[in-house]
Amino acid sequence: MGRILHVSKNGDGDYRRLEDALRAIPEGNQEAVTIYLQEGIYREKLVIDKPYITLLGDGADKTIITYDDYALMLMPDGKKRGTFRTQTVLINTHDFTAKSITFENSAGSGRKVGQAIALYVDGDRNSFYDCRILGYQDTLFTGPLPPNPFLPDGFTGPLEYAPRINGRQYYHRCYICGNIDYIFGSATAYFESCELHTRNDYDRLPTTDSSQRNIYGYITAASTAEGQEYGYVFNRCLLTGNCPTNSVYLGRPWRNFAKTVFLECELGEHIKVDGWHDWDKPEARDTCYYAEYRNYGPGAKPMERAPFVKQLTKEESLNFQKDHVLW
C-alpha cells in the first residue's frame, strides 16, 4: 500500500485538512500514497497534481468534500468566474484513485448560479469507486478541454493552455447527479454500474419555443476529439430522476464528434422518446456517434430514437466492453 497519511477533522490524525496532507507529498512523487480521509465534511477547494495517490473515505455518505464556487460569481476584476474555475476538486495527474468519497459543488441550481463543477478530472488512468459526484449544471468534467472555446475567455481556468491529451477514466458504482450537461468533456470515460440521477430544476429552461418546453435536462455533453476511438461508455447503469416523463435527453454534442454509448442500462421514464439531441447543429448528426444496446425500462424506446442514433448488434457491442475501451 506504500505510505499512508491520515486526515481527521477531530485532530486524531496526521492532518486536519486534506490540503495539508497533499502538500506533504513531494513533487514528482513516484510511490503509492494512500490518504485516509476520515468521516466528516471537508470544505476545501483542491488541486491534486501528484500521481499515485489514493483517497480513501469512510463511505460516500460520510466523507464529503464540498465547495460552492459558480460560473456567475464575480471575480475581483469584475469578470465572471466562468465554468472552469468553479470546480471543488481538480485532478490534474495520472494514476489517481478515489474510493468511498463524495465530491460536491453546493452552489445550487444552475438557473441561479450557472455552471458549477464538482469534479474536474484530467490525466490518464484515473479511477473512482463507490463515490458520489453531486451538482446541478456541469457536475463532472472529464478533461481535456476541446482545442478552442466557442467564446472568448470561455476556457479561462488552470488548464486553459495545457496540452490536450486524451486520458482514460473509470467510474464504478458511482452516483452522479445533476441537471444540464452534468457529465461533459473529451475523455475516454467508462461508467460501470453507476446511477445517473437527473434533478428536477423546472425553471432552469424557460423558453417561448413550444418544442423546447418539455426539456428538463441533458445527461451528457461529450466533446470527443475528431479521430478519437472512444468517448463515453455507460455499461449496466441505472438512469433515475424526479423529472416528468419524456423530458430528459441522454446526450447532446458539445463538439461535433461526440461519442456516447449506453449498453444494457435501465432507463427511467424521464428519458426522452427520441433519446438524443443535436444541440441545433444539424451537421453534427453526420459526425457524432450515439449508440445503444439492449437498454431496458420505460425510457428505452429503440424504435423511436432520433434517426442519427445507432442500435448496436451483439457483435458490435463487444467493441465497447471495458477491456477494449480502457486497455
> CA–CA separation, 157 vs 44, rounded Å?
18
**Architecture of the 32-326 domain:** 3 Solenoid (2.160)
In sequence order, the 6+-apart residues with CB closer than 8 A to the CB of 131 are: 60, 98, 99, 100, 101, 102, 103, 171, 174, 175
H and E: helices and strands count for the chain: 4, 26
- Taking the chain, what is the end-to-end CA distance rounded to the nearest angstrom? 23
Please report, rounded to a whole number, the percentage of residues in the chain having pLDDT higher than 90. 94
Query: What pLDDT does residue 28 have?
Result: 87
Peptide bond into 144 cis (omega under 30): yes
Q: Is the pLDDT assigned to residue 1 strictly greater than 70?
A: no
The reported pTM is 0.96
Task: Mark out the alpha helices in the chain (DSSP H runs).
Answer: 18-23, 110-113, 314-317, 322-326
User: pLDDT tens, 70-102?
Assistant: 999 999 999 999 999 999 999 999 999 999 999
How does residue 213 score in pLDDT terms, banded at 50, 70 and 90?
Answer: low
Q: Domain ranges for the chain, please list them.
A: 32-326
User: pLDDT tens, 239-278?
Assistant: 999 999 999 999 999 999 999 999 999 999 999 999 999 9
Residues noted as catalytic: 138, 181
More confident position, 79 or 204: 79
What average pLDDT does range 219-247 have in this prediction? 97
